Structure 1
Amino acid sequence: MKLEKCPCCLGEAELVNMMVGDTEMWQVTCSSCGLSTELDDDKVFSEERWNKRLERSRLKMWVTLLAAFLPFLAVAAFLGGSFMGLRL
């Protein structure tokens, strides 16, 4: 599975395996900023968890932009209505 870029810095991600006791554990880590997933004993699950971070990051970005844009839109509508002589 191809790993997506880091949601924080857009750096390259790499899959790292570690031995913890007798268990092979997997973790995806950004080579630039060090952001990483938790250790997991399932390689595919670690990759999927990492790739979903970028989707969530993009969703949060759009929600934040919309939350910032709505008050601006309300003020612009109010000022535009006032300019055109409309009253509430």
Structure 2
Amino acid sequence: MSLQFIGDYGIFLPGRDAVGCAALDRNRLVRWYTTRSALEKLGGDSKSTTSMDLVDRFERHRRLLEKAADIKYRKGKLERDGSVRIELDDLTSVTGR
């Protein structure tokens, strides 16, 4: 089943050092988040990586990240808590690099 992204704004999750939000699979809430390393790669040459910078990158690249989350979810590659973690390596499935 594919995820339906509900458009909530990404928030910084200090315990995971990532930016995350939620999606739906029918009536089930699925948390998904993108790690700092993946967001830093999307930042290009920018050296600044404050929590606000990471949230901005998340929002700027949201469609790409949603696609990566959906691919990983459909493959059943979930964390123990049922969430989807997008890491640096997951970006290659959608960017080809």
- Both proteins in one fold, TM over 0.5: no
Specify which structure has the higher proportion of helix: 1
Q: Which has the larger radius of gyration?
A: 1
Give the TM-score normalised by the residue count of structure 1.
Answer: 0.33
Specify which structure has the higher proportion of strand: 2
The one of the two structures with greater contact order (alpha-carbon pairs below 8 A, sep at least 6) is 2
